Each structure stands twice: as C-alpha cells, then as structure tokens.
Structure 1
Amino acid sequence: MRWTDFPKWGRWMADWAAGYHAGLRDRPVRARSTPGAVLAALPAHAPEAPEPMEQVIADFESLVVPGITHWQHPRFFAYFPSNASPAAVLADTLIAAMSPQCMLWQTSPAATEMETRMMEWLRDAIALPESFHGVIQDSASSATLAAVLVMRERALNWAGNQQGLSAHAPVRIYCSGEVHTSVDRAIWVAGIGSDNLRRIPTQGPTRAMDPAALRAAIAEDRAAGLIPAGIIGSTGGTSTGGSDDIAALADIAEAEGLFLHVDAAWAGSAMICEEFRPLWAGVERADSVVFNPHKWLGVQFDCSAHFIRSPEDLTRTLAYRPEFLKTHGADGIINYSEWSVPLGRRFRALKLWFLLRAYGLEALRAMIRNHVTWSQALCEGLRSEADFTIVTEPVLSLFTFRYTPEGADDLDALNQRLVQAINDDGRIYLTQTQVADGIALRFQAGQWDCTEADVILAGEVIREIARGL
C-alpha cells in the first residue's frame, strides 16, 4: 500500500468508523472470544510477500472486531469510560498521518506551544489557579510516577538520582487503600518499595483518609529515623469513588513539609462543572494534580492532564540535557520531554484542541451532568427494590450495589454469578469490586454516546438477570 492508495482506504475507514459507532448497540458489549482463539487464527510467521489490502481488511473484520470488547459501546458501564468523540478521532487520524515526534520545541514547535495553551484551557475549565502549569502525560500512571519521583528527590535533598536510595534512610509515602494500583507501581519503579508505602485507615461515607491517623503515622516514621516524603490523595477512587478531604491533607502536607499529589484520574473531568468541585475542595493547595481527559471528557486514550505548581521541581527531577537534545538560539522555550519520564512524545494536544473547539465546554458539562443524573436515578431505583442493597453511595456517576434476596446463603458467590451472567448476556457490561468483606457490583455511566434510555435498560437487565439466577 502506497500513499496514492491511501485516499481509497481512508474513505473506507471513515465509512467503517461511522457505521461501527452507529451499530454498537446491536453488538454485545464484551468480547465473546475464548482464550487463545485469536492467537490460533493468526499465522505463526509474517508474510514474505505483500498481501492485498482487501484481504487484510477482510481479516480485520472477521478476526479482530469479534475479539474486541467495545469500550465505545453506549452501555459500557464497567471500569471507567474511555471515550472517543468524533472530533478527537479526526484529530488522532491527522496526528497519525503526520506522525511528528514532539519531544522538543524544535522538533515540533506547534505541538509544544499548543500543549501549553491547551493545558491553560483545561486548568481554567476546572478552576485551578494560574500558579499551576500543565503537561500532557500518556496516563495517570505516568503522572503519578513523576509525582512520586519528585517527592523522593525533594525529601532526599535532590540527591537520590545521583547517590541512589541505598545512601539514605527509607523514604515514606502515605495514601489510603482507595488509591489506584498505579500508586503501588510508582512506588516500585521509584525504588521506594511497597514496605514504605503506608496505607492510612479511612473514615466516613467518602472513605477519606483519617487525618489523625495520618499525622500519627508521619510522627511515628520520623521518630524511627525514616524520611516522610509525600502524600497521595484520591478524588474518585477506582473501586467505589473514595475521596479524601484534600484540604485536610493540604494542612498536614504544609505543616510537615511534604509533597501532596492528588489523583483524580476519572473524577477530575467532572470538575468542569462548578457544582461538583466540593468533592476536591482544597485542591488548589496541592503540589500536583492529575486527571484523564481520555476517560470522561471525550478525548481517546492516551491523554492525561498533569498539573504542577513547581515545574522547576519536576524538571530538576526528570530533565537530562545531552548536547544533541539542546535547542540553541531560542530562549524561554519549553521542552515537555523534560517534564515526563519518556523522551518521545505524541502530539496529544491536537486532540484537545479539536475536542474543545468542536463541542465547547457547555456541551461537555451537559454530558457529564446527564451521566451523573441518570446513574443516581438508577441507584435510587435499585434502592427501592427489597432484594437489592446499595453498598456505597453515588460519587458522581459511580455507585456499588449487591443483590441480596431473602434466604440467600452465599451472597459473594451469588453476586459473582450475577456479574458473570450480566456480562455473558451482552446487553450491558459491569465489573465487581471488594467492599469491606463482600463482593459488590460497580455501576458507572460515562460513555460518550450513552443516553438515559441506555441507563434505564441497564436497570431492567440487572433486575431480570438477578431474579432469573
């Protein structure tokens, strides 16, 4: 295939994409492939000679599409959304066609300067103060790793990268059990070690870190000769939406001289709506904040917004400037590769630019408000049923529930059977989680094309399948 062939297949791709999205409600949400089926259908070795695109496309439709779980399905209520608006998909197609390497200002000036402006647009949209500066990371995992590395270096007087951790007492990081597993990975990769990640007990309906327990843990670690370095707060935790009192964490971080990072990977998008901002009150006092526009805002993966109060601390931790990466004769420029762990960078800002211009903030706010309203209405509907129990209250559009019919012996086994039966049915897709000592089913609404009718149908499917077990 040559560029002269591309218009033909580009038109095919555009038509296929539009048809795919139009017909998603007719497909089961979760892939029905059996383990190893796709692998077995793929030849063991690459072809030596070119094959016609017609055959490649035919195999794509027969092998790949049936083996995909449809994250863009309007009734995808599992995990968190991974949205793809048409405008952002168009931008991603342009990015792929140009395929620029955006590691330095000089390698793609438009990408660098657009990233600066788009992060200002997002910062203002979620009402962070102008003292925050933004960078687009590939995921919240990378942003959290960057934050943990800064915590480590600040706590070690900027000597960790040079001397290694063995030259110092152990560094301690504090969080609750509600944070994403990316925090654990960041601790591993940063060399801090799981034993030095202290899990602070939670309290109250939001499952927030207990400030008194946090203070006590920090004091205990200092007395033991350890080095408290930072706190990782949660806004909208993955399991049940657990959310810390960010203002209380900021008080402790300031008093103790610790770095405060706030992970709002999913929930942060909702902060474009003023009425949801009390969920992270005090966030303006954090040192670092991350949320994923690729979850709930309409930009497809990957595009994570990382805001930092002190970019100098970030670049002091991550920047490495060999001669071949220097830009001579241009002062005051930003090289965003110095703000990230990877050197290579995609032109992710273009997706945000297309999205925000094509829909505007008001349309995005309306989408998020609808998702919250519809999900909470479903929660109340299930609450009114005698054989269902709401386990955790809604946090934005996320809540958890359990099927609890009278006389059931093993509720965990029953609810595990229920989520499996729902997903095998195919009309909707849910996931389960562990709350206290029991299995609960998670429901969250957030898919770009989701309608109120889709959420109502979800309730009907849940009731029908539960009572048919």
Structure 2
Amino acid sequence: MTPDEFRRYGKQVIDWIADYHESIASRPVMSRAEPGDVLAALPEHPPEKGEGFDGLLAALDRDIMPGVTHWQHPSFFGYFPSNSTGPSILGDLLSSGLGVQGMMWATSPAATELETRVADWTADLLDLPAKFRGNGAIQDSASSACLVALLSALHQAGGGAPGPDGIDRRRTLYISSQTHSSLEKAARVAGVGSANVRVVDVDPVTLAMDPAHLDALLTEDAAAGAVPAMVCATVGTTSTTAVDPVPAIGEVCRRHGVWLHVDAAYAGVAAVCPEFRWVNEGLAEYASSYSTNPHKWMLTNFDCTLLWMADRAPMLNALSILPEYLRNNATTSGDVIDYRDWQIPLGRRFRALKLWSVIRWYGAEGLREHIRTGSGLADELAALIAADPRYEVRPDHPFGLVCFRPLWDGLTTDEANAATMDALNRLNASGDLLLSHTKIGGHVLLRMAIGAPSTERRHILAAWDRIREETTA
C-alpha cells in the first residue's frame, strides 16, 4: 500500500468509524448471531491475490458487523465499561502508524519516557501516594498486573529458591470469594497452585474481606510451615463493587510481613474526583503494589492498565533477564528504564500514546465530568428501583454499578432466581439493552453497569421502563 493509497483508504476508515459511532444507538446492543454464523460467512480459504480495500470494508459490514456486540452503545450495561473515545482511537492509530516496539529504552526512548510521564500524570490525577511516582508501568490488563505483582511478591518471599533447611516450602496467596478470578489464574501460572490460594471470609452484608479471618489464616499457615506470599485486597469488586478495608488488611499484612497488592481495576480511576479519593485509603501506608484500568472508566481504549510499585526492586529481580542480543550501552549504564523487565512478555506496544492523548484532550476537568456523570446516573437509577416495592436494590452502590432483583410474588427463592434469569435472557435477546447478572446470598441479581461516554439520562430511564415491562409481565 503506497502512502497515497493509505491516505485515501485511511480517510475511508476514519469516516467508517465516525459513522459507526454516530449510528451506534440505532443498532441492537447485543449481536444476534448464532454460533458459527460469522465463520460461515467467511471464505474457507485465503485469497490467492490481494484484494482492494473497498471490498474489505464491504465485507466488514456484511460479514463481520452482524457478529459484533456494541460495547460503546449507550444502552450497554452488561459489564464494566470499556470506554472508546476519539482521542484514544487516534492515539492508538498513531501508535500503530509509528510501529514502535518499546521493549527497551534503546529501542525507542520516547516510548519509555512518555510512559514514565503519563504514569506519573495519572498518579497525580488520582492523588496516589508519592512512593508510586516513577514506579508506574502500563500493562495490557489487570490480570497481567496481578500476575506481575504476585511474581514480585514471591521473589520477595523467597520465590522458587529452597528454604534455609534446603527444602522448598509452599507459598500461599490470600483472596476473598469476591476477588477477581485472575488472581487464581495468576496462582496457577506462577506455580503457587490453586490448592494454596486461601479464601478469606467476607462480611455477609458488605462482602468486604474480613481482616480478622485473614489474620487467623496467615497465622495458621505460617505455623504449618507455609510462606504467605501475597494478599490481594480489592477496591470495587467485579460482582458488586464491594470495597475491602485496605487499612485494616494492610495492618494485618504488615504484622505478618506479607506483600499487599490492591486491585482497583474498575474503581481506582474514580479518584480523579476528590469526592472519591477515599478509595485510596491505606495505599500510602501499606500497599506494595496497586493497579487500575484507564481502559474501563477513564475514556481510554482497551488495553491499558496501570501498575505501580512501592519498590520496583523485587519486580526487577523477579523478571529481569538480559541475553547478549539485548545488551546495549543505555541498559548497561543503569540510567534508563527498560519496561521489558516490568511485564511478562518481552515486546510491548506504545500504549502510552493513547493515554497521553486522552489526558491532554479531556484534562482533569473532563475526566471528572465523565466519572460524575456515570455515578450520578447510577444513583438516580438506584433511587428509582428502591422506590418500587416490586424490586430490591443493593443499598451500597458507590460507583457506576447498580445490582438489583425483582421480588416475584408467590415464588420460592429458586423459582425467583430462575424467573430472573429467564427475564435477563429475554432482555438480552431483545437487543435494546444488555445486562449481566451475579449471585449473592443465594439470589440472582441483575447488574447494570453505567459508564459509556454516550449514555445519557434518557437511556437509563428507557432501560428501567424496559426492565419493568419484562420482569412484571
């Protein structure tokens, strides 16, 4: 493709994306494709000769789009938002256009130093502790961030090295029933194993981790010869946005000498608003590592997770490997950051460009407005549900997620759960909004996550009308 062809077709692609976002509200939120539909529409074999781009765009509309669920739809409420915005899309395009492989400072100094700066900018925006300045890196997702944190914690606790008696001791990881599943996967990947993932009790009402039970488990495991490696506290759980008591958990971790990772994948970015800065409680005093996702609720395209370390040394000691073919004067000098040592893969995209683009375009003021809009709409929806005696809403909804259930007259709990799920499935199939569900205390609850940039009050009211129509029919 020549530069002239790229210019011509590139304008067509930009127009296509702009038209898509302009028309997205008129599309069904959830794809209506059946399994195998998209596969059947695609040729079984690749073309022998290259084809024109016009045909590609036509095939995109004809064969691909029917299988797309529209995450940027104003009535997409199924999962935490995965924001996509113009500045971020263009930043991503610039990253693709430059084609930088930013594994080391030497492979592109700008990729490294811009990432260092935007990580610090984000720490400033969220009012994070000073210890995180200069110690932030962009990961692809919170799953990777948690794995890096666990590997760092394992190294600090002794890693895979034999104990002083020459016999390797088992390492343990501590989570709650509400912790994201990526932590158990991280335990498998890191060699801790699922059997050594200890599940801490939660408060039956708030679903927050119980520090007293954590203390008991740590004491019990240490007495049995295990090496407690890491505790993961969550600020804004996936199921209900429950918030673990980080200061109390941190005090327990300090007494036992255990690494505390705080996973704030969804809710952490809310701290851009001063009224939400309570989510940072305990970080300065206790957190060894902390992560949050601009790609959820901070107007930045997937993938973009920020991970900060209070001390980068355990991570570098755990992950740094320097083969001869990567040696260079800058790395040897020790004066630069090589982000390849801050992640699992060697290669890394120039992700900082899209976050830089978002922060420069919106500024702190625009980011605050977005967070406040989503949380305000969630408050309004929760008030509407609470005012209807036919529904029950979870009272604690500090961010943009509302969990609720219909109260089905004359039905047992199991029947009510089944009826709720049936209603949920009908709502999804209808195509005019998308919800998801969770299960708490034996009850199936509907989850309505608000945070798409295009979602307005009218979309919330229309969704509430539709839900009532379906669940009270």
Measured against the shorter chain, the TM-score band is over 0.9
Local SS of the residue matching 2:433 = coil
For the 8 Å contact 1:240–1:392, the answer to whether it is kept is: no
Inter-partner Cα distance in structure 2 for 1:414 and 1:436: 17
Is structure 2 residue 440 aligned with structure 1 residue 438?
no
The aligned counterpart of 1:448 is 453
Inter-partner Cα distance in structure 1 for 2:120 and 2:400: 26
The aligned counterpart of 1:315 is 316
The aligned counterpart of 1:141 is 143
TM-score (norm 2): 0.95
TM-score (norm 1): 0.96
Shift of 1:72: 0.9
Inter-partner Cα distance in structure 1 for 2:334 and 2:314: 20
Shift of 1:143: 0.4
Counting only pairs closer than 5 Å after superposition, residues 129-208 of structure 1 correspond to structure 2 as: 129-132=129-132, 133-156=135-158, 158-160=159-161, 167-203=167-203, 205-208=205-208
Inter-partner Cα distance in structure 1 for 2:320 and 2:467: 51
Shift of 1:405: 2.7
For the 8 Å contact 2:320–2:341, the answer to whether it is kept is: yes
Inter-partner Cα distance in structure 1 for 2:115 and 2:21: 29
For the 8 Å contact 1:391–1:440, the answer to whether it is kept is: no
The aligned counterpart of 1:97 is 97
Local SS of the residue matching 1:208 = coil
Is structure 2 residue 274 aligned with structure 1 residue 274?
yes
Inter-partner Cα distance in structure 2 for 1:52 and 1:279: 51
Give the counterpart of 1:371 among 370, 374, 378: 374
Inter-partner Cα distance in structure 1 for 2:394 and 2:367: 29
Local SS of the residue matching 1:106 = helix
Local SS of the residue matching 1:341 = coil
Give the counterpart of 2:462 among 457, 461, 469: 457
1:69-115 deviation line (CA, Å, top 9, x unaligned)? 00111111111110111001011111111111000001111010000
Local SS of the residue matching 1:172 = strand
Shift of 1:4: 2.8
Equivalent AA in structure 2 for residue 272 of structure 1: V
Equivalent AA in structure 2 for residue 224 of structure 1: A
Shift of 1:279: 3.4
Which portions of structure 1, spanning 4 or more consecutive aligned residues, are displaced by more than 3 angstroms? none
Inter-partner Cα distance in structure 2 for 1:454 and 1:386: 22
The aligned counterpart of 2:86 is 86
Inter-partner Cα distance in structure 2 for 1:72 and 1:255: 45
Counting only pairs closer than 5 Å after superposition, residues 419-438 of structure 1 correspond to structure 2 as: 419-438=424-443
The aligned counterpart of 1:466 is 471
Inter-partner Cα distance in structure 1 for 2:194 and 2:60: 42
1:260-307 deviation line (CA, Å, top 9, x unaligned)? 001100001101112112234112220000000000001101110001
Inter-partner Cα distance in structure 2 for 1:368 and 1:269: 8
Shift of 1:348: 0.6
For the 8 Å contact 2:294–2:305, the answer to whether it is kept is: yes
Give the counterpart of 2:342 among 330, 333, 339: 339
The alignment-based identity, stated in percent, is 38
The aligned counterpart of 1:400 is 403
Is structure 2 residue 350 aligned with structure 1 residue 355?
no
Counting only pairs closer than 5 Å after superposition, residues 18-97 of structure 1 correspond to structure 2 as: 18-97=18-97
Counting only pairs closer than 5 Å after superposition, residues 407-418 of structure 1 correspond to structure 2 as: 407-409=410-412, 410-418=415-423
Counting only pairs closer than 5 Å after superposition, residues 243-262 of structure 1 correspond to structure 2 as: 243-262=243-262
Equivalent AA in structure 2 for residue 358 of structure 1: W
Inter-partner Cα distance in structure 2 for 1:129 and 1:385: 43
Equivalent AA in structure 2 for residue 117 of structure 1: R
| Unaligned runs of at least 5 residues, structure 2 | none
1:402-444 deviation line (CA, Å, top 9, x unaligned)? 1113223411111101111111121211001111212110111
Inter-partner Cα distance in structure 1 for 2:247 and 2:319: 28
Inter-partner Cα distance in structure 1 for 2:9 and 2:431: 31
Counting only pairs closer than 5 Å after superposition, residues 287-302 of structure 1 correspond to structure 2 as: 287-302=288-303
Shift of 1:187: 0.5
For the 8 Å contact 1:102–1:112, the answer to whether it is kept is: yes
Shift of 1:395: 2.9
- Structure 1 vs Structure 2 CA RMSD: 1.5
Question: 1:96/1:167 Cα in 2 relative to 1: closer, same or farther (>3 Å)?
Answer: farther
For the 8 Å contact 2:129–2:283, the answer to whether it is kept is: no
Inter-partner Cα distance in structure 2 for 1:408 and 1:17: 47
For the 8 Å contact 1:393–1:400, the answer to whether it is kept is: no
Local SS of the residue matching 2:187 = helix
For the 8 Å contact 1:247–1:282, the answer to whether it is kept is: yes
Local SS of the residue matching 2:149 = helix
The aligned counterpart of 1:121 is 121
| Unaligned runs of at least 5 residues, structure 1 | none
